[in-house]
Every structure is written in structure tokens, then in C-alpha cells.
């Protein structure tokens, strides 16, 4: 707010003091947060931390309106630090605390994303201050020396441009990412729903304009996927890539298909013989899946003995189909938990599954359920 006031009234000394004070406060906040997370047993990033690593347009609006409320409160006769304090608590301290978490845990993407959010919020609080000060016609600082006045004005203009131009660009990027996220979720909800195929996991990456979906159930034909990709433009998702990973049909669907396929036509002896052979093959296939069910039952009991947080496990060998047409064999493992795993326990689970399933190509998805 001091930075915005200094720019609005042409007070270069105030601008310099404001930048110095803000820098000192930010460094102290980050250092305090870093020390806390270094000595704290908390190591997992919770939702409140993750929310500060990827800024959205809502964060920008919070900073803008928080700054407006703060400067309006500062111009009243009855002074109060409550509203500016709210702006600090909602827009500035959370990203600085997240930046400290990133440093303490070596998560530099967390640090950069959170500090970037802090810069955006600071700039928009300053911008809201400039708007209110100009609207209220605060008296500007006058300089006796014309050269000094010109130098100060030019310096303030340079500082303003260096601060505002990147923030406007970053804010534009934030808005574009938010729009992409919203359109992608709308596309998934309306277009990517299939009979006998359940959406297991979805990931939307606005930075790379990529939508990744994992399905379990009946395979969706490539022709249908191609038609869905053509509809991306209708949701303002031009240039976005759609990647599907399909894990095959579930055991219950397999059994239903087997039962429906065992239909004996009694018109001729030859057809009866063919149908009996078909039934024998299908029963053999069904027996194989029942053996797999027994194996998965043993796996979940062993996993629960290893880590009591595990309440259920689904194991499915599958083929990953990449955009370039190539395929990779892997085993998809869905793990249901009643309590979040630590990093050490996650590593222990991964190593055990690789040894138990006798494969190094394991992709683990966890779900926290109460």
C-alpha cells in the first residue's frame, strides 16, 4: 500500500522505503516458515499448501478487493488495522508460508509458484491503492528543482512499468489457465461418459494444454475417441491433447459377457458341439479370472498386514496407449486408504508391490476414504 501511495503522489522516497520494508517483511516471513517446516514433523503437502502453488483468477480478485478495502480503511478518520490485516492474512502470508515449505522440503516448484502468487498479490494491492488515491485526489509531492521532478517522475514510471507489465501478463496467464481448466472439466462431464466404462482418474494440465483420463471397464473404440477429440474446439479447447488410458473390462463385466455369450442353439448337432466347445473355453477363461480374484484377495490381506491404513486394493494389468500410437504394458494398482501414507510408507508400498507382482512397471493411485 505504501508502494502504491508513493507512485500515486510521485513520492519516490516513499516508494523506495515501501519496497525495502516489504522485502524485509517477506524475507522474515519466508525464513520463519522455512524454519518451522524444517523442525515440524509435517512433511506432506496439504490442500491449503497446494492451493498456493498454482494461482487462479480468484487469488487475483482477493488481492485486488483486499487492497481496495485496505486503502479505503486507511483514508478514514477512524484508523483501523483490521481490514489491512485481513488483506495480509488472505493474500500475502499464505503464499509466503508455502514458499517456506518449498525451501524446507526442496520443492522448488512450490517455492516458485507460491512466490509468484505473492508478487501478483502485492502488485494488485498496490494497483488498487493507486486507483483509490488518484480517485480521492491526494496532493502530489512537489519538487522545486524541475530536473529533480523529472528524474523522480521518470524513475517512478520505470518502476511502475517493470512491476505492472509482468504482473498483467502473469494475471492474463492465470485467467487463461483457469478458463482452460473450467472448459476441460465441462468437456469431461458432458462428452467423456461411456457405457460400461468408468472414469477412474482425471488430470487437467493447463500449462501443456493436456487432458489425461484413465478408464476402467469396456474399451472405448479409437473411432469414438477420434470423434470426441473433434469436439474439443466446441469447448474452446483448440490445440489441447486428449490422452486416454484404458485398463480393460472389470471382472464383473467379464462374467456378464461370458454368461450372455453362452447361448446354445439346438438346431443341429454340429452347432451344439461348437457351442459346447465355446462354453468350455469361456468357463476356462472364467476360472482364470476367479483365480485372479483369489490372488487379489490375498494381496489385499498382505498389504493390510504391511500397512494397516490400506482398506482395499484393485490390481489390473493394462496397456497404456500413447498419443504417438505406441503402447506400454503396466499394472495399474488402486489403493483405498483410511489414513494418508507418509513418504516412507509410500516408498515401502511401491517396493512391496513390485516384488509381489514381479514387475517394475507399476502405477499406483491412492484414494483417501473415511
Percent of the chain residues past pLDDT 90, beyond the cut: 7
Tens of pLDDT, residue by residue over 86-96, are 767 777 888 88
Contact status, residue 325 vs residue 355, Cβ threshold 8 Å: no
Residue 32 pLDDT = 94
Tell me, yes or no, if the pTM score tops 0.85: no
Residue 280 pLDDT = 62
Helix intervals (H) in 231-268 = 251-261
Higher pLDDT, 74 or 306: 306
Residue 291 pLDDT = 54
With b for 16 or more beta-carbon neighbours within 10 A and e for fewer, the 89-116 pattern comes to eebbebbbbbbbbbbbbebeebbebbbb
DSSP structure class, residue 197: E
Provide the mean pLDDT of the chain: 77
Average pLDDT over residues 24-41: 91
DSSP states of 285-319 as a string?
Answer: HHHHHHHHHHHHHHHHHHHHHH-TTEEEEEEEEEE
Tell me the CA distances in angstroms from 199 to 220, 225, 289, one per residue in order.
12, 14, 22
* Band (278; pLDDT cuts 50, 70, 90): low
Residue 25 pLDDT = 92
Higher pLDDT, 11 or 296: 11
* Band (295; pLDDT cuts 50, 70, 90): low
Sheet holding 241-246, edge to edge: 197-205, 210-217, 241-246, 310-321, 327-337, 362-368
* Band (264; pLDDT cuts 50, 70, 90): very low
Average pLDDT over residues 321-330: 75
Residue 2 pLDDT = 86
* Band (56; pLDDT cuts 50, 70, 90): low
Average pLDDT over residues 48-74: 70
* Spatial separation of the C-alpha atoms in residues 96 and 310, rounded to whole Å: 35
Residue 221 pLDDT = 77
Lowest-pLDDT range, 19-33, 123-137, 153-167? 153-167
User: Reduced to 3 DSSP states, what percent helix, strand and coil does the chain have, rounded to the nearest 5?
Assistant: 60, 15, 25
Residue 289 pLDDT = 55
Contact partners, residue 165, CB within 8 Å, separation at least 6 = none
Task: With a cut of 70, say whether residue 268 has pLDDT above it.
Answer: no
Provide the grid cell at 98.
Answer: 508455502
Residue 266 pLDDT = 45
Residue 21 pLDDT = 93
* Spatial separation of the C-alpha atoms in residues 209 and 237, rounded to whole Å: 8
Question: Grid cell 509468484 — which residue?
Answer: 116
Amino acid at each position: 500500500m505504501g508502494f502504491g501511495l508513493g507512485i500515486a503522489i510521485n513520492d519516490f522516497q516513499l516508494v523506495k522505503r515501501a519496497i525495502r520494508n516489504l522485502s524485509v517483511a517477506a524475507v522474515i516471513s519466508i525464513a520463519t516458515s522455512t524454519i518451522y517446516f524444517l523442525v515440524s514433523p509435517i512433511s506432506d503437502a496439504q490442500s491449503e499448501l497446494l492451493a498456493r502453488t498454482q494461482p487462479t483468477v480468484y487469488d487475483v480478485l482477493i488481492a485486488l478487493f483486499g487492497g481496495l478495502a485496505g486503502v479505503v480503511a486507511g483514508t478514514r478518520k477512524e484508523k483501523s488495522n483490521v481490514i489491512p490485516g485481513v488483506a495480509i492474512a488472505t493474500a500475502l502470508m499464505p503464499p509466503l508460508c508455502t514458499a517456506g515449505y518449498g525451501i524446507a522440503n526442496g520443492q522448488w516448484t512450490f517455492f516458485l509458484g507460491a512466490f509468484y502468487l505473492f508478487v501478483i498479490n502485492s502488485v494488485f494491492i498496490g494497483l488498487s491503492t493507486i486507483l483509490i488515491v488518484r480517485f480521492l485526489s491526494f496532493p502530489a509531492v512537489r519538487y522545486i528543482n524541475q530536473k529533480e521532478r523529472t528524474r523522480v517522475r521518470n524513475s517512478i514510471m520505470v518502476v511502475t512499468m517493470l512491476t505492472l507489465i509482468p504482473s498483467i501478463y502473469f494475471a492474463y496467464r492465470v485467467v487463461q489457465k483457469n478458463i482452460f481448466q473450467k472448459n476441460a472439466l465441462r468437456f469431461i462431464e458432458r462428452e467423456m461418459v461411456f457405457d460400461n466404462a468408468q472414469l477412474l482418474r482425471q488430470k487437467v494440465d493447463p500449462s501443456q494444454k493436456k487432458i489425461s483420463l484413465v478408464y476402467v471397464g469396456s474399451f472405448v473404440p479409437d473411432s469414438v475417441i477420434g470423434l470426441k477429440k473433434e469436439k474439443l474446439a466446441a469447448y474452446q479447447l483448440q490445440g489441447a491433447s486428449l490422452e486416454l488410458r484404458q485398463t480393460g473390462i472389470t471382472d464383473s463385466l467379464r462374467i456378464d459377457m461370458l454368461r450372455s455369450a453362452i447361448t446354445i442353439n439346438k438346431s443341429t448337432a454340429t452347432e451344439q458341439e461348437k457351442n459346447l466347445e465355446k462354453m468350455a473355453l469361456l468357463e476356462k477363461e472364467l476360472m482364470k479370472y476367479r483365480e485372479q480374484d483369489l490372488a487379489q484377495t490375498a494381496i489385499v490381506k498382505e498389504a493390510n498386514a504391511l500397512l494397516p491404513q490400506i482398506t482395499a486394493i484393485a490390481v489390473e494389468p493394462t496397456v497404456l496407449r500413447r498419443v504417438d500410437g505406441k503402447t506400454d504394458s503396466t499394472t495399474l494398482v488402486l489403493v483405498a486408504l483410511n489414513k494418508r501414507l507418509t513418504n516412507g510408507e509410500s516408498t515401502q508400498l511401491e517396493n512391496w508391490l513390485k516384488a509381489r507382482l514381479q514387475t517394475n512397471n507399476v502405477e499406483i493411485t491412492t484414494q483417501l476414504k473415511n
